[in-house]
Structure 1
Amino acid sequence: MDNIAGRKSGLTWAVHIAVVLLVILWLFPTAGLFVSSFRTGDQISGSGWWAAFSTQQRNEPAVRVGGDEVQQGGRFVLQGDLFPNRDMTIKAWGTSSRDVEAYEPGATADLGDGVTLTLDEGGTFTLAGPESFEGQRLPRVFATASSPPEFTLANYENVLFSGTAGAGVGQSFINTATVAIPSTVIPILIAAFAAYALAWMDFPGRALLVAAVVALLVVPLQLALIPLLQIHNVIGIGKTYMGTWAAHTAFGMPLAIYLLRNYMVGLPRDIIENARVDGATDFQIFVKIILPLSFPALASFAIFQFLWTWNDLLVALVFLGTDDERLVLTGRLVNLLGSRGGDWEILATSAFVSIAVPLAVFFAMQRYLVRGLLAGSVK
């Protein structure tokens, strides 16, 4: 009964479950990075992104009290706020790392020699003693505090528009776009002409050219990096955007021709023959018939090529260099990991900025992806 025509296979549900699990596994870290990009550095280091929407409670690092000293009723008093720039609620506190929850908010601790310390729920402290505190080592406070959810757009402002705080991420974003967009458009334009010629034009050696294109698909690009860079230096385009576009075009051309040629071969022959009977030239057929019908394949390759060039590090470092003014996003993120490893809010925001554009491109054109990839597989 399982083989009756029109009856769905019992594996259908297993396939659906597997797809859902894969989507969740892919979406989970992306959502986490997105949420973290709006959090402050203290909250990122204190809890995971899944706790971002709830009140967080943790043991804060020790804070040494300080402030301006005044004299009141024969005693010397220091007053201040333990967390001046944060909205915190003290749950418990202590003056020793061995007992960080020794006192409740509002309680007064006796530090000896007549010195007392009071800390209220809002983080305001009062240190009082019979002698001046000048030149003395002031006590530390270990607090267990809770803080409400906090989100900010300052991370994106710092990353995209502040060269110092963002460490040049905004400039690297522009550099990456300058590399990726031409490196996607140029191969498509060239490969479309070549694919049409290999699919619908008769000339000697066409089969050998198709075989050569297929063979080039398995050639590692690392083998050609140094020789190609030497050629670029000789002709004067080394370490320039033009040289990087040329490299990406050369490395992406075999896949582009292969995909587009397979799709164009599967187009109805009658349409092209009727156009030729009506007197259309090959160029007119290509522009007015082939290109509109080949849009799914063009979009499919555009997705692959854009994702590759946007996320590329090796080709950009070799052909564009490591100059700070021309460093791409991937190279900038590598530098940030080394120089700003403690600024988690900067790292999270920079990482999400680097994947935001590829995500937008993928979701905008993903409906053409499967159609383009399966082109020519079924006659």
Structure 2
Amino acid sequence: MSGQGTIERRRPGRAAAARPASGRAASPPGARHGSRLSRLLGSSAVQALLVLVALVWITPLAGLLLSSLRSERDNAAGGWWTALADPSQLSLDNYGALLEDSGIAAAFGNTVLISVPATVLVVGIAALAGYAFAWLDFPGRDGIFLVVVGLLVVPVQVGLLPVAKLFGAVGLFGTIAGVVLFHVAYGLPFAVFLLRNYFAEIPREMLEAARMDGGSEWRIFFRLVLPLGRPAIASLAIFQFLWVWNDMLVALLFADSGSQPLTVALQSQIRQFGSNIGVLAPGAFLSLVVPLVVFFAFQRHFVQGVMAGSVK
């Protein structure tokens, strides 16, 4: 009895020793790493460094904006920083002349007609395929997914000539539809790979409970999977839109003069006018401001998608 009483008296001591001194349960390693990262980012030195990096990145953007608001004569007379001391140099005349140019205006519209459908189609098809590869059983699922992963290493230059011959045979060469299809085809492997891995992290019990409640696969996909995958989908949409909007190689090869986007139109201005800052500066800033607006509009979802899975 005395030995048993000694054991019983020792048990509370061991349990108390296993708990932290504060009496609270120990935090998981991921939470501790996350708190240390938060403290590091909150330090004054790191914040000052981030401000310095932001200024370094913003300076060329400010220079491009001021150059686009100055006349050709003012740009030839001195650097863009002279406009800070003489704001009278700034006007919207360059933008007015640029928008009156039917070629540039049409190229801007073509860029929108290429970028938006290519982004929507890639995100929509990849979301459906990602859910199928993650949670549906069908013959050859793993083999097909390995083929999709293998397509990630295929460079875009490999398909330029064969696709050009194919588009020429079916009448898509030199059209907006042909450029969109090319971007969709080469954007899908990465998109499917990304969303499949993200959807696979959804708890199986949640999907099984939805099926037991009578939910169909379509209902589960639209009502459960898509809301849970919104951070990854938003990140993918931003990446795809930026890639297509800033592309010049594919558009230079597959678009004709009537379907060329803004990047090709500005490149043709360089060949024709040399250093025509009055056209290139406002055109380049106009091409830059749209991706910035898209990024800042979805930055919260973008950060969530990038950080997803970093802290368990």
TM-score by length of 2: 0.82
CA 1:208–1:378 in structure 2 vs 1: closer, same or farther (change >3 Å)?
A: farther
2:97 alignment counterpart: 158
Pair 1:335–1:236, CA change in 2 (3 A): closer
Q: Does 1:327 align with 2:266?
A: no
Rg larger for: 1
Q: Is the 8 A contact 2:122 2:188 kept in 1?
A: yes
1:256 aligns with 2:225: no
Number of equivalences: 277
2:41 & 2:225 partners in 1: Cα distance? 41
- Counterparts in 2 of 1:241-280, with a 5 A limit? 241-280=176-215
**Aligned equivalent of 2:79:** 48
2:53 to 14, 22, 25: 22
| Contact 1:156–1:349 (8 Å) recurs in 2 | yes
Q: 1:372 aligns with which of 287, 305, 308?
A: 305
CA deviation after TM superposition for structure 1 residue 10, in Å? 10
**Equivalent residues of 2:108, 2:262 under 8 A apart:** yes
* Larger strand proportion of the pair: 1
Match of 2:4 in 1: none
The 1-side partners of 2:100 and 2:126 are apart by: 38
Name the aligned partner's letter for residue 95 of structure 2.
Y
Cα deviation, 1:32-64, whole Å, max 9, x if unaligned, reads: 111211111111111222220214xxxxxxxxx
Q: For the structure 1 residues 374 and 9, does the alpha-carbon distance in structure 2 shift closer, same or farther, using more than 3 Å as the test?
A: closer
Which residue is 1:344 aligned to? 277
Preserved CA contact (<8 Å) 1:238 1:319: yes
How far the C-alpha of 1:20 sits from its partner, in A, is 2.9
Tell me the CA shift for residue 11 of structure 1.
11
- Report how far residue 162 of structure 1 moved: 3.0
Contact 1:53 1:149 in 2 (8 A): no
**Bigger share in helix:** 2
Q: CA RMSD in A?
A: 2.2
Deviations 1:205-243 (A, max 9, x none): 323333322222221011011111212222232222221
- The alpha carbon displacement at 1:264 in A equals 1.1
Partner of 2:288: 355
Taking a change above 3 Å as real, the CA distance of residues 10 and 295 of structure 1, as seen in their structure-2 partners, is closer
After TM superposition, where is structure 1 displaced by more than 6 Å over at least 4 residues in a row? none
Q: How far apart are the structure 1 equivalents of 2:203 and 2:244?
A: 33
Judge conservation of contact 1:41–1:344 (CA < 8 Å) in 2: yes
Q: 2:255 and 2:142 mapped to 1: Cα distance?
A: 36
Question: What aligned pairs does 1:2-151 form with structure 2 within 5 A after superposition?
Answer: 8=39, 15-55=46-86, 149-151=88-90
Tell me, in whole angstroms, the C-alpha distance in 1 between the residues paired with 2:266 and 2:69: 18
Q: 1:206 to 1:377 in 2, by over 3 A?
A: farther
Equivalent residue for 2:29? none
CA displacement 1:113-165 (0-9 Å, x = unmatched): xxxxxxxxxxxxxxxxxxxxxxxxxxxxxxxxxxx7322111111101234xx
Gaps of 5+ in 2: 1-31
- What residue identity is the alignment partner of 2:286? V
Query: Which one-letter code corresponds to 1:235 in the other structure?
Result: V
Q: How does 1:196-235 map to 2 (within 5 A)?
A: 196-235=131-170
Alpha-carbon displacement from aligned partner over 1:70-125 (angstroms, at most 9, x marks no partner): xxxxxxxxxxxxxxxxxxxxxxxxxxxxxxxxxxxxxxxxxxxxxxxxxxxxxxxx
Aligned partners of 2:41 and 2:47 also within 8 Å: no
Q: For residues 106 and 177 of structure 2, what CA distance do their matches in structure 1 show?
A: 18
In 1, Cα distance between the equivalents of 2:128 and 2:217? Answer: 10
